[in-house]
């Protein structure tokens, strides 16, 4: 075991994938010579060469279009979109091509691509470097959507994503890249996709979170415990397909649900989570579910800490839901 931050864990996962399967290639803007804008791919080009760690033009639709073509010929591209805010030029390639090849070919063509991309606020990046655009991709049939909150999960989930037959969007909360360190096994291991993790056990409220907001949820839950409220915090890890069974076990125990996410509230993933729980566990709920989210505005520069659903916004919601 080694102490790693998320940058190191993801880099290690990519090394294991490149070493273990010659079909795997890493590609994206500045991923080779520079090692990526956050240095996540540092050193990979030196070890594996420019034919397998490929610096691409600054063209998101070109990156993903090329990756799709490579995948159709049996390769396994791991493509990086430098910031998730800039994924939209590739949206057509992802939604209308990549997500549909396995279905339209009856499984003959799997078009296996992993798309890595940093998401979320916390670095004062403002409008164009802080968005959290998971919802449109969760809405797209044929894609899996994953987000890790810690280094251990980041390595294991990324290796699982690369091994999975479906295309996977692998979002990485940039705020956590170097902020969290955990013990990470040095070898190859998998964290199963579609498996949530109970990050804190509690009896009064079920709190769902993912990515960087997991830490805010945990912080708020510790504060709530001082007020006599015990929140159970679940890290979803795979957003779609979501591990609804783990969520339902918790909700049936607590009778209360609180969802936290960075993205804007309207049509955010929290709405789908609330709908699923209401459909499957309505009679176990003691009070209406509550969401604590980003606001329905563009991500601000100077009011970042007001926009993000940090612990100071989560704590009152936990207490209110528990005592309703």
Residue 281 sits in the same domain as residue 145: no
Residue 123 pLDDT greater than 90, yes or no: no
pLDDT band at 180 (very low <50, low <70, confident <90, very high): confident
Residue 106 sits in the same domain as residue 144: yes
The answer to whether residue 304 sits within a structural domain is: yes
Q: What percent of the chain clears pLDDT 90, i.e. is strictly above it?
A: 94
Residue 29 sits in the same domain as residue 152: yes
Q: Which class for 53: exposed (0-12), middle (13-18), buried (19 or more C-beta within 10 A)?
A: buried
- Concatenated DSSP letters of 108-125: S-----EEEEEE--SS--
For the beta carbon of residue 96, count every other beta carbon within 10 angstroms: 10
The answer to whether residue 189 sits within a structural domain is: no
> Which residues are tagged catalytic?
129
CA separation for the pair 118, 32 (Å, rounded): 17
Residue 232 sits in the same domain as residue 160: no
Residue 35 sits in the same domain as residue 109: yes
pLDDT at residue 126, rounded to an integer = 83
pLDDT band at 1 (very low <50, low <70, confident <90, very high): confident
The total number of structural domains in the chain stands at 2
Mean pLDDT of all residues belonging to the chain: 96
Residue 234 sits in the same domain as residue 165: no
pLDDT at residue 78, rounded to an integer = 98
pLDDT band at 301 (very low <50, low <70, confident <90, very high): confident
Residue 127 pLDDT greater than 90, yes or no: no
In the listed set 123, 156, 184, which residue is the last one of a domain according to the structure? Answer: 184
Residue 148 sits in the same domain as residue 201: no
Q: Assign residue 283 the CATH number of its domain.
A: 3.40.50.920
Q: Which class for 303: exposed (0-12), middle (13-18), buried (19 or more C-beta within 10 A)?
A: exposed
pLDDT band at 276 (very low <50, low <70, confident <90, very high): very high
Residue 121 sits in the same domain as residue 216: no
Residue 194 pLDDT greater than 90, yes or no: yes
pLDDT at residue 166, rounded to an integer = 95
pLDDT band at 10 (very low <50, low <70, confident <90, very high): very high
Residue 206 sits in the same domain as residue 86: no
Length of the chain counted residue by residue:
324
The answer to whether residue 191 sits within a structural domain is: no
For the beta carbon of residue 317, count every other beta carbon within 10 angstroms: 20
Q: Which class for 95: exposed (0-12), middle (13-18), buried (19 or more C-beta within 10 A)?
A: middle
pLDDT at residue 314, rounded to an integer = 98
Residue 219 sits in the same domain as residue 116: no
Sign of the Cα torsion 297, 301, 305, 306 reads negative
Residue in 82, 121, 85 with CA at minimum distance from that of residue 212: 121
Mean pLDDT to the nearest integer, 123-147: 93
In the listed set 116, 151, 184, which residue is the last one of a domain according to the structure? Answer: 184
pLDDT at residue 324, rounded to an integer = 84
Residue 261 sits in the same domain as residue 209: yes
CA separation for the pair 160, 147 (Å, rounded): 12
The answer to whether residue 81 sits within a structural domain is: yes
The answer to whether residue 192 sits within a structural domain is: no
Q: Assign residue 42 the CATH number of its domain.
A: 3.40.50.970
Residue 166 sits in the same domain as residue 268: no
Residue 24 belongs to what domain range?
Answer: 2-184
């Amino acid at each position: 075991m080694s102490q790693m931050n998320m940058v190191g864990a993801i880099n290690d996962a990519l090394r294991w994938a490149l070493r273990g399967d010659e079909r795997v290639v890493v590609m994206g803007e500045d991923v080779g010579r520079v090692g990526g804008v956050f240095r996540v791919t540092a050193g990979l080009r030196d070890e594996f060469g420019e034919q397998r760690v490929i610096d691409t033009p600054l063209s998101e639709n070109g990156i993903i279009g090329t990756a799709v073509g490579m995948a159709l010929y049996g390769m396994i591209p791991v493509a990086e979109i430098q910031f998730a805010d800039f994924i939209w030029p590739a949206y057509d390639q992802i939604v209308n091509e990549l997500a549909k090849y396995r279905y339209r070919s009856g499984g003959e063509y799997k078009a296996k691509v992993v798309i890595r991309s940093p998401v979320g606020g916390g670095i004062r990046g403002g409008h164009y470097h802080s968005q959290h655009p998971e919802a449109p991709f969760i809405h797209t049939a044929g894609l899996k959507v994953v987000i890790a909150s810690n280094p251990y999960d980041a390595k294991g989930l990324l290796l699982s994503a690369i091994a999975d037959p479906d295309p996977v969007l692998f979002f990485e909360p940039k705020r956590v890249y170097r902020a969290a360190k955990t013990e990470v096994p040095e070898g190859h291991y998998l964290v199963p996709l579609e498996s949530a993790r109970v990050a804190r056990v509690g009896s009064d409220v079920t709190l769902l979170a993912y990515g960087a907001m997991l830490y805010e949820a945990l912080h708020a839950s510790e504060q709530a415990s001082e007020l006599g409220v015990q929140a159970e915090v679940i890290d979803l890890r795979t957003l779609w397909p979501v591990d609804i069974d783990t969520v339902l076990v918790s909700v049936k125990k607590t009778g209360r649900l609180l969802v936290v996410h960075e993205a804007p509230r309207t049509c955010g993933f929290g709405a789908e989570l609330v709908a699923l729980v209401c459909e499957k566990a309505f009679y176990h709920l003691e009070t209406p579910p509550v969401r604590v989210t980003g606001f329905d505005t563009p991500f601000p520069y100077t009011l970042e800490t007001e926009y993000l659903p940090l612990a100071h916004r989560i704590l009152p919601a936990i207490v209110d839901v528990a005592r309703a």
